[in-house]
Amino acid sequence: MNNMSQSNHEYMLAGMLRNAAPAPMPTNIPSEKTNADRRAEFLETVRNFVCKDRNVTHGDAEDNFRVIATLWETYLNNTPPQNLNSVDVAIMMCLFKVARLMANPKNMENWHDLAGYAACGGGIVMKKLEEEKQQY
């Protein structure tokens, strides 16, 4: 292109751009989530856990809670009367996982959790034993 035709071309292109309608805003840009959106999303996740996944993994909630209550009651009725402490909580959480395993022994997460609660309880007892040795 010579200088004259290049200038004409640029002039025509500039004119087309000036007269062009503004480009539409893309509609696929997600809008910013509101707090209400986050709560709704959270509750939908909870609904899926409680109404779908939970029954498959742990059985009926009422049945499972009844077994947990029986195990905890048995524990509490067979330990010396005292205020609950961290060791009691570790034992009761182990019993909680035992109840879950009774409903579904193939769920490996419950086995892992049971071992984790036992390890936490064992660590608490070990620390108390070490502290008792230091006192003598």
pTM over 0.75: no
The predicted pLDDT at position 64 comes to 92
pLDDT < 70 positions in the chain: 1-30, 53, 135-136
Q: How many residues does the chain have?
A: 136
Measured CA angle at 23 (ends 18, 26), to 5 deg? 165
Cβ-based burial of 34 (10 A; exposed 0-12, middle 13-18, buried ≥19): exposed
Q: Can you list the positions of beta strands (E) in the chain? A: none
